[in-house]
Amino acid sequence: MDVCKCLDKQIEQLPKPLFRFVCHCETCRKYTKAECFDESSFLLKDCGDLDLSNIEFKSYQTGFSPMERGKCKTCGMVSFSKIRVWPFPAFVMLPSHKISIENLPKPFAHLYYKSRVTEANDHIKKVNGHMMSQLTIQFNIMKGLIVRIFK
């Protein structure tokens, strides 16, 4: 997967991600032009001076989608995505391989796994279907926020 390098200096300043997952849905595959999308999520408010002004955000889904995936206006490559689902705060996500190894959490699941192109031969939970994938994401958002509050 080709990923934007224009924001590498900003990425170095990011905190440890709140959580990470691997998505196998058609939308992520279309966006990344890869078999799946391993992405890490951060609370937007924890990202300090992150400048997203050089990223063009759009929805790659039909109908309502709270997620907007971004591509760099300079190089045209995959960059940050952002999402805001009430009552949760805003998040930004980026490809996990852009994050230093010491800050990279283990993915909580492979989502939309039934849509996969190839098998994932690891010990990470595999979740099929839209409803179960969405519930798994919501559960892990809550879990991440609770853990963060009580640190």
pLDDT single digits (tens) 41-99: 999 988 888 899 999 998 877 666 778 999 999 999 999 999 887 777 889 999 998 88
Residue 48 backbone zone (phi > 0: left; psi -120 to 50: alpha; other: beta):
left
- Kindly report the CATH number that applies to the domain delimited by 8-149: 3.90.1590.10
| CB distance 18 to 24 below 8 Å | no
pLDDT of residue 83: 87
What is the spatial distance between Cα 51 and Cα 20, in angstroms, rounded to a whole number? Answer: 22
The residue ranges of every structural domain in the chain are: 8-149
pLDDT single digits (tens) 113-150: 999 999 999 999 999 999 999 999 989 988 988 888 88
What is the spatial distance between Cα 101 and Cα 36, in angstroms, rounded to a whole number? Answer: 19
pLDDT of residue 60: 76
Sheet holding 91-95: strands in order across? 55-58, 67-72, 78-83, 91-95, 37-43, 19-23, 110-111
pLDDT of residue 149: 81
Q: Check: pTM over 0.95? Answer yes or no.
A: no
Region 98-122 average pLDDT: 92
